Amino acid sequence: MNILFISAEMSPLAKSGGLGDVVGALPKALRQKGHDARVIMPLYRGIRHRYMEQLNFVRWSMIRLGWRTMYSGLFSLNVDGIPVYLIDNEFYFGHDELYLEYAFDIERFSFFQRAVLEAMGLPMGFDPDILHIHDWQAGMIPVLLEAHYKSQGYFAELPSLLTIHNLKFQGIHGREQISDYLELPNQYMSEAGILKDGVPNFLKSGIVYADRVNTVSPSYAKEILQDFYGEGLNGLLGVQRDKLSGILNGIDTESYNPETDKALAANYSKTAYKRGKSACKKALQAELGLPVAADKPILAMISRLTEQKGVDLLMRIADELLEEDVQLIVLGTGDFLYEEDLRKLESRHPNRMRAKIGFDPVLARRVYAGADMLLIPSLFEPCGLTQMIAMRYGTVPIVRKTGGLIDTVEPYNKFEGTGDGFAFLNINAHELLFTIKDAVSVCRDQPKEWAGIVQRGLNKDFSWAKSADEYIDLYESILKDK
């Protein structure tokens, strides 16, 4: 099959979270299984500067966006064996950040989607059998395809799959502006079409007009049918549930490999990890200026600092937690108030806590390898990759029972001698604290039990091979139905 991924992000070119990781890894897994998977995304300034010598100019055209007529360049680039196409427009994508002011982002990705559809086929030199679109930034592709192309006899049999990485972000803007940008006939500007509560909604449009919809874990696919997780779209998803499914993400096990990871102070394997992991722990403590002590459990959190990630739960019990003989490392960036609260927490506990504010993927690898436990107290989690990476590096996850965290972490059961992590159920700070204390107790006082927990996590297979097979089955099912 020929599969075209349409996305705002792809690792290593540009990413802000799990979306970039998925689009960077899944096409590679599909190509290894004999399918021609390619990616199209914006040509951000960072990509242009980093890959200037490798970019190949394909063609240029003019794109209508309401009353505007805008230049659109098409470039190509090979990234780890994956053909990538890049949409160029300096006004929209010549910025240091991936995402800017919200209303402008709506305009930018309206342009992007129209430019993608104009580039398909002969200009691109690639005829996809299926479009795999990702999140709200590509959510209008199916309706644009129907309104502007299929109605004119182009791409008549071309189906689409929408993958929802996070239902919370939907792409909502004014009716007048979207009508201007996308020039959709009136029949689509309705509650049965792209409108949600009277205004255009990019993600809702994708759910309605895509041939199938999936989320990035089976449990999240079930959760979003409920009011609490559904972000106002649970009623629509309930109506559309026959085309909804969940496929668990994987991770790039070649990149995240403690045996070969050059960022680590020492490499180690899943069959002989203790000496290497101990060396990584000591090196991490020294790097961050914490007391170097093998007997002090290191708790870490590597995350966007947002409400969704449960930062409030951690902050509520952080001082009480640090009364224990543990060390805490938080690495991430996000809401300014969380960043400031973490800096203040470090100032109160200078010998036990480090707040590393910023996006540092190299340091993140050293934290994965050097920490004993990784905290993921998310209020909701469509999939989550950090818990998988943590187990890959022999670090035990402590998670809330939600979404993909349920699907990947088996809670420790001391009576049965099973489990590879620790979990709590309710959105409750002290439930998180008690779960952490349980984990710390096992880590400190029951080394054989702890070794079993770590080993079971190390033995798990989080590669993309299984998930890629599930996507292939889903693609084939979509094509069979056309």
Q: Of 418, 421, 417, give the one whose Cα is nearest residue 408.
A: 421
Q: What is the pTM of this model?
A: 0.93
User: How confident is the model at residue 92, as a pLDDT?
Assistant: 97
Q: What is the tens place of the pLDDT at every residue in 3-38? A: 999 999 999 999 888 899 999 999 999 999 999 999
| Cα separation, 221 vs 167, whole angstroms | 10
Comparing CA positions, the residue from 461, 458, 463 lying closest to residue 33 is 463
Percent of the chain with pLDDT over 90: 94
In three-state secondary structure terms, 436 is helix
Per-residue confidence (pLDDT) for residue 482, from 0 to 100:
78
For residue 200, give the H/E element and its range: strand 199-200
Check if 2-250+465-481 and 274-462 are the same fold: yes
How high does pLDDT run on average in the chain?
96
User: β-strands 327-332, 422-424: how paired?
Assistant: unpaired
> In a 10 Å sphere around its CB, with 0-12 CB exposed, 13-18 middle and 19+ buried, how is residue 168 labelled?
middle
* C-alpha span between 56 and 76 (Å, rounded): 5
The DSSP secondary-structure symbol of 297 reads: P
User: Confidence class of residue 106 from pLDDT cuts 50, 70 and 90?
Assistant: very high
pLDDT of residue 123: 80
Task: Give the closest residue to 15 by CA, choosing from 39, 37, 33.
Answer: 39
- Rounded distance between C-alpha atoms, residue 462 and residue 250, angstroms: 5
| Model pLDDT for residues 397-432, shown as the tens digit of each residue | 999 999 999 999 999 999 999 999 999 999 999 999
Report the pLDDT value the prediction gives residue 77, as an integer from 0 to 100.
96
What per-residue confidence (pLDDT) applies to 435?
98
pLDDT digits (tens, 9 = 90+) for 124-141: 889 999 999 999 999 999
Diameter of the chain measured on Cα atoms: 70
| Residues 283, 370: Cα–Cα separation, whole Å | 8
* Residue 122 pLDDT greater than 90, yes or no: no
Q: What is the mean pLDDT of residues 181-207?
A: 96
Q: Please check whether residue 139 is in contact with residue 189, taking contact to mean a CB–CB distance below 8 angstroms.
A: no
Q: How far apart are CA 284 and CA 287, in angstroms?
A: 5
Nearest Cα to 19, choosing from 134, 137, 171?
134
| Burial environment of residue 348 by CB neighbours within 10 A (0 to 12, 13 to 18, 19 or more) | exposed
Domain map (residue ranges) of the chain: 2-250+465-481, 274-462
**Confidence (pLDDT) at 301:** 98
Q: What is the fold of 2-250+465-481?
A: Rossmann fold (3.40.50)
Q: Which of 225, 243, 223 is nearest to 234 (CA)?
A: 225
Q: What is the DSSP letter of 145?
A: I
| 2-6: strand order across its sheet | 56-65, 68-79, 82-88, 36-42, 2-6, 130-134, 160-164, 212-215, 244-246
pLDDT at 291: 97
Tokens for 205, please give them. Answer: 């449009």
Asked if CATH classification 3.10.20.30 holds for the domain at 274-462, the reply, yes or no, is no
Residues contacting 142, CB < 8 A, separation 6+: 131, 133, 160, 162, 205, 206, 209, 210, 211
Comparing CA positions, the residue from 201, 204, 209, 139 lying closest to residue 172 is 201
Report the pLDDT value the prediction gives residue 121, as an integer from 0 to 100. 81
At 211 the pLDDT is 97
pLDDT at position 177 over 90: yes
> What digits encode the pLDDT tens for the residues 349-365?
999 999 999 989 999 99
Burial 215-232 (b: 16+ CB within 10 A, else e): bbbbbbbbbbeeeebbbe
Span 30-82, pLDDT tens digits: 999 999 999 999 999 999 999 999 999 999 999 989 888 999 999 999 999 99
